[in-house]
Amino acid sequence: MKRQLGQTDVFFPAPAALIVGGTIEEADVATIAWIGMLSSTPPIVGVSFDNRRYTLELIRRTREFTVNIPSADHYKETDFCGLISGRDTNKFIKAGLTPIAASRIKTPIIRECPFNLECKIVQEFQLGDYLLIMGEIVETHIDEDKVNFVNNRPQIDISKINPLVYCATVREYWSLGKKLGNAFQSGMDLLNQ
């Protein structure tokens, strides 16, 4: 038996990303769960903002933003950045997060987040009361100690990143469980049955 919940925005799990807008001189950060990868070539990420967010205001001035993935142990700081607006408070200082220079754009990345994307807006789309901004990823950063080298090629170690996971309906933060298998391979077992 299934129970119908009606029209909801229930969706889980989601990242709880820290999106930064502005410049080193004036930056703001907001917690965003409505985010996803939209294209591979070129890589384009979509981020959905309520039009009232100050971070969005700063992003629209420079047409650039950064996506910063916090690790699970930063769940309190991440929640804090989603509770108040940066219009009146410097959330970086309050949360102990450090904006540092990116390499291809003027908007900073966050030092304490192990994984960061630099993005330039390619399109915007108003959806209901949210603005979907689509940004081409022009550079990717990862903490040196979260990368393993296999045959001299860097491989991201997800267990070391330990990304924060957000479950929208129940409004809970989780960490990842154990690895279950490899994508584009695990299903082969069924193919060969």
Query: Which residue ranges make up the site for ligand FMN (CB under 6 A)?
Result: 16, 28, 30-34, 48-50, 53-55, 79, 82-86, 166
Distances (CA, A) of 41 to 44, 109, 136, 184: 8, 23, 9, 19
Both tokens of 50, joined, read 């309520």
CA distance linking residue 164 with residue 2, whole number of Å: 29
In the complex, least distance from residue 31 CB atom to ligand FMN, rounded to whole angstroms:
4
Closest CB to ligand FMN among residues 54, 157:
54
Min dist. Cβ of residue 111 to ligand FMN (A): 19
**CB nearer ligand FMN, residue 49 or residue 115:** 49
11 or 100: CB nearest ligand FMN: 11
User: How far apart are CB 141 and ligand FMN at their closest, in Å?
Assistant: 22
Of 79 and 136, which CB lies nearer to ligand FMN in the complex structure?
A: 79
Report, in Å, the least distance between residue 94 CB and ligand FMN.
Answer: 11
Task: Quote the distance between the C-alpha of residue 72 and its chain's center.
Answer: 13
